[in-house]
A and B are shown apart, each in its own frame.
Chain A
Amino acid sequence: MTKRDDKQIIDLLENLPKHNDERSKEEIYEQIALQFSENPHNKKKKFIPYFSVSAILLCLLSLPFLFHNATEQSSMERRNATEEVSLDIESETFHDSAQQHEESERFGEREQQEASLITEDVLTEVPADKEIIHFAIHDETMQYIIPLTFLVPEEANMERYYTKLDEILEIYQLYPENFLLKDIEFAIDFDTKQAVLTGQNRLLKATGSSDLLSHLLSEMFLPYGIDKVRIINELNEMEQIIDLSSHRTQRVSYLLYEESYIIVPQDHDTTVREAMLALKEMQRDASINSVMDENIEFTVEDADETVIVEFAEETIQEEDVTKQMIEAILLTAKSYGYEDVQFIHLPIKQLRNYHFDNPIPVPVAVNVIAEIE
């Protein structure tokens, strides 16, 4: 669906009539006063322990969410070399099977417009007739979450892909050691927003011992509005409900690329400006590469749903403008709820599919692995 189609529908919606109450203010007040006089001793509702909720939330926010990588090789260089090769997202890293070649060919045959929606590791728009499947895995140290995105046909039975999670991860060689969700049966109703996971007792144990599982499930299910997941063991004798709603307010840390990362600062109180400036100092760990030269100067302002990033021209050179830098800024803006970013005073007009003359929409998904049938 094109933006013009979107606009057509939005125009129609905006032309729908406003319905106004025809009763007078006095008439309404009389009715309310009457109800109060009939039920003067209404029970008071229970007080909600807001502070307890906040405390739990703060604990969750303090959890580490960074991905550890042992390699210290200059991944940017390796990656840049790879970038020149292909737009073919599946072929870059993950597998080499015959199926992959078929998918690569199919991808290559798409119309240019649709192909341009996918800029390798991030998806800038859901292609026509496609839906997004959100998977997530953890790294082998079981410390960090890696969100994964697959594209599936629009009318596909989404639940089917979750039932084949093990198989899909194996095909793409993404199956982590000691995967928490190994051999789990999924029963998901996307309409009623219910998810039930059936597995061995170790899964139930994981619900109590680690927040990794709830982080994993929140990456997979919150995008669909599913905020509670029921976990039962195979004999249906034990049950645990995991509430994912506290993860909603967390800023997302994005792990991108095989060996270099974009990590969006997740401190709950940081502003989008502080988060973007922190991108320059993002070398907290030997395994995390900075996405931006520390000498680059810029200002950050927002205007409604747009973040305006204005560079000091004398501090940025053409070679400083990398895909990693642009996507780090876009994803940071996304994590703060903005819709697009206007880049000003970049030394180049275009980088790959990013045209800097106009505001660039934030990506809709990250780590796009493949299109699957």
Chain B
Amino acid sequence: MKALFNRFYETYHQDIYNYVFYMVKDKTITEDIVQEVYIRVIKSYDRFRGDSSEKTWAFSIARHIVFDHFRKQKRKRKVTNETIDLDDMTEFIPARETTPDEAIIHQEDVALMYQLLDQCSVNQKQVVILRYIQHHSLKETAEILDLTVSNVKTLQHRAIKKLKSLLDEEKAKGGIMDDETRR
């Protein structure tokens, strides 16, 4: 068990942590989810058949646990009679803790983009995280998300378009200075 843990830790740990963090934007929840990823990997590794790469398999497990977390959150919301679509789960992502990493986001547009990412649908957000923050290929992203490459491209295109539109809106509100203004 420890050998498997060590190998997965050295190979995938920080990438999976980063993916989960961007999905839930909460340090404690991220730690719990990543821990659960290891437990499921260790329990099911003997059944891993190599149909996909080990990396996409591990990320798929992380994705399922993130979605389990969102579903639990949704059920909690239902108790309070609030109805929220699964695909709008970003709405009930908990209030963020300030992490050292967040503190170093100083560039205004980048900082804004960090916030705007939460306004994408969950699927769009996943594609953006995997493609542009984690630099997975289209094929890897499709395998992790159980989508076609074409679906990934569509989500990617829509996410970029949405982020552009949101960024423009924010700039128009004057919250963020554009390059021209800075000069």
Q: Which residues of A contact B (CB under 8 A)?
A: 1, 5-6, 8-10, 12-21, 23, 25, 28-29, 31-33, 35-36, 42, 44-45, 47, 50, 126, 154, 189, 191-193, 222-225, 245, 248-249, 304-305, 334, 337, 339, 364
Contacts and interface: CB of A to CB of B under 8 A. Distances in A.
Contact of A21 (B34, B121, B153): B34
A193 B5 CA distance: 36
Interface stretch (B52-60, B65-73, B103-111): B103-111
B18 A9 contact: no
Contacts of B86: 192
A35 B35 contact: yes
Provide the main secondary structure of the chain B interface. Answer: helix
Nearest to A54: B51
A18 B129 CA distance: 11
Contacts of A20: 14, 17-18, 101
Interface string B63-82: 00000000000000000000
Interface in B80-131: 85-88, 99, 101-102, 104-105, 107, 109-110, 113-114, 117, 121, 123, 128
Size category, B interface: 35 or more
A12 B167 CA distance: 11
A45 B85 CA distance: 28
Contact of B9 (A25, A33, A50, A154): A25
Given A16-B114, A32-B5, A192 B87 contact: yes
Contacts of A154: 161
Contacts of B39: 32, 35-36
A12 B146 CA distance: 26
15 contacts: A1-B161, A9-B160, A12-B167, A13-B133, A14-B133, A17-B105, A20-B17, A21-B14, A21-B34, A28-B35, A32-B42, A35-B39, A36-B39, A45-B44, A225-B151
A10 B151 contact: no
A224 B101 CA distance: 34
A154 B2 CA distance: 52
B107 A15 contact: yes
B182 to A, nearest CB: 15
Contacts of A339: 138, 153
A154 B157 CA distance: 13
A11 to B, nearest CB: 9
Given A12-B110, A45-B44, A225-B123, A19 B164 contact: no
A-B pairs, 8 with minimum CB distance: A337-B149, A13-B132, A19-B21, A12-B113, A21-B17, A191-B87, A17-B101, A248-B148
